[in-house]
Structure 1
Amino acid sequence: MCTAMSQRPRALVTGASAGIGRCYAEHLARTGHDLVLVARRADKLEEVAGLLRAEGADVEVLPADLSTDEGVARVVERIERDPAIGFLVNNAGYAARGRVAELDADATAHMLRVNVIALTRLTIAAMARMSAAGHGRIINVASGTVFMQMPGNAGYGASKNYVLAFTRTLQTEAEGTGVRVQALIPGVIATDFHEIAGNAIGNFPPERVMQADDLVVASLRALEMDEPVCIPSLPDMRDWDAYVEAERGLVPNVSRDRPAERYHDRD
């Protein structure tokens, strides 16, 4: 458990029992953070916590099912009552896939509660406290599928489009508050995520698969560089800038007093 005597900054990481979340926990511990680790399985969290405690970090295990109101409320309360939590990594998430006409509606709703509702409520709690304090960092993990329309991926892709849109708007609100907000857009990462989603990492060409540790190092470095959006394998950030400029080019014509000429009766 976290001690009152600790003077180190504290980071709260969701989905911290494995994969990307575990790598964040390891790197943050090495860079001087104490930790609150959140995931469903206490035994897996304790395994990670034991290793990090051996390296000198003060680690609290907070088992919580983020698909439930009770689980989310437990983590929100933990954020709200601890002024030492200056770093939130919203990493928890998973994919329920299938073509829309064949989707399991309950499984999709369960996924949205984790990917969308939980992330939103934790971010609200963290942003309220961090902006009042005048400092803090938030990383929200999206997905490279935000740029793709792949059959069978409508629900998951849409959930991660929400994460990206929500985070980008939050970034505009965070200006001048002392809170730095990052949207992380991973590609294919070598974790058990794909097996859980019914795929296999071996189905991807090796040159498309990044190690979770490399992803996290890039994300934390991007945060230091003040890059609001981190796409770790993108060679040139000017491509992202062009994407944003293309969006801006649409804005003046999104709302006009009449339909475009092509919709007019030409008779």
Structure 2
Amino acid sequence: MSATNTQGIAVITGASTGIGAVYADRLARRGYDLLLVARNKSRLDTVAAKVTEDTGRTVEVLAADLTDPAQLATVQERLRTDASISLLVNNAGVASFSPLAQADQSHVDDQIALNVTSLTRLTTAVLAGFTQRGTGTLINVSSALAFNVLPVSAVYSGTKAYVVALTQALQQELADTDIRVQAVFPGAVRTEIWDGSGIEVSMLPQESVMSVDDAVDAALAGLDAGEPMTLLSLPDIADWNAFETARQAMIPNLSRSVPADRYRN
């Protein structure tokens, strides 16, 4: 696609490295201009310069700490008011692994602020414009640890499970529109999220660690296929379908006028 044509602006959070930086490259190659958001401006500038050199797309950077309410509000306002924005990748996230009783409270707070609060506020802001225009794409990056809950992942898994519930609710809410909503579930990906997390990526079985390029390419293949939930390394989608079918089968019995027989004398 010519650099003079555009799919609109794709906003990517956590875009200075890792998954976000690769999304920037791939979406620019698909014809999007970009707005890249992260705390580290120098790294953002480096990513932006390379993407522009490689693709010819227009790339803007917005340095913001999304755990800071004032800086978050600046990004929200841009998402709410810029009619050129056609896609948002909620990728920014942080991980900290330890038993909860031993957790650093600041690490707990940062995970909730970034993985839940900022994601929710940015989603709310961008959907204001998407619903007005009747179109748009929202990609929420969750994690395999939303399902594979570990003794040391209580807060991280909890925040990523929240992304599942939020995304599934939005998919129902927007089902009759042209707004696409996808949740992406990476397993272990070789990125800087592991640095200082309490788990070193080198400690993991290497057959369970995916490259960042493969992760993003698989996520976009899932988007192209219209998948609402993209589990990047799950070999057989029938396993997810069986899981979802079992969940749906429970729903009619989750709220009844009497307790289940096993709880009654």
TM-score (norm 2): 0.95
Q: 1:11–1:87: 8 Å Cα contact kept in structure 2?
A: yes
CA distance in structure 2 between the aligned counterparts of 1:6 and 1:63, rounded to whole angstroms: 26
Deviation of 1:198 (Å) = 2.5
CA distance in structure 2 between the aligned counterparts of 1:8 and 1:180, rounded to whole angstroms: 15
Partner of 1:196, secondary structure, is coil
Q: Deviations over 1:138-175 (max 9, x none)?
A: 10000001112211110000000001110111111111
Aligned residues: 261
Q: Does 1:26 align with 2:7?
A: no
Matches within 5 A, 1:191-210: 191-210=191-210
CA distance in structure 2 between the aligned counterparts of 1:37 and 1:110, rounded to whole angstroms: 21
Partner of 2:39 in structure 1?
Answer: 40
Partner of 2:8 in structure 1?
Answer: 9
Q: 1:67–1:111: 8 Å Cα contact kept in structure 2?
A: no
CA distance in structure 1 between the aligned counterparts of 2:119 and 2:21, rounded to whole angstroms: 17
Partner of 2:61, secondary structure, is strand
Q: Deviations over 1:108-142 (max 9, x none)?
A: 11210100000001111111211211111010000
Q: Does 1:178 align with 2:178?
A: yes
Matches within 5 A, 1:1-267: 7-55=6-54, 56-265=56-265
Structure 1 residues without counterparts, runs of 5 or longer: none
Deviation of 1:7 (Å) = 4.6
Q: 2:6–2:31: 8 Å Cα contact kept in structure 1?
A: no
CA distance in structure 2 between the aligned counterparts of 1:8 and 1:233, rounded to whole angstroms: 29
Deviation of 1:33 (Å) = 0.8
Q: 1:10–1:85: 8 Å Cα contact kept in structure 2?
A: yes
Q: Deviations over 1:86-112 (max 9, x none)?
A: 010000001122212122223211210
CA distance in structure 2 between the aligned counterparts of 1:166 and 1:155, rounded to whole angstroms: 16
Q: Deviations over 1:200-246 (max 9, x none)?
A: 22111121111111111111111111010001111221111111111
Deviation of 1:6 (Å) = 7.1
Q: One-letter code of the match for 1:17?
A: S
Q: Deviations over 1:53-110 (max 9, x none)?
A: 2121101010000101112111111112211110100000011222121222232112
Structure 2 residues without counterparts, runs of 5 or longer: none
Q: 2:21–2:47: 8 Å Cα contact kept in structure 1?
A: yes
CA distance in structure 2 between the aligned counterparts of 1:216 and 1:194, rounded to whole angstroms: 18
CA distance in structure 2 between the aligned counterparts of 1:209 and 1:262, rounded to whole angstroms: 43
- Fraction of identical pairs, as percent: 42
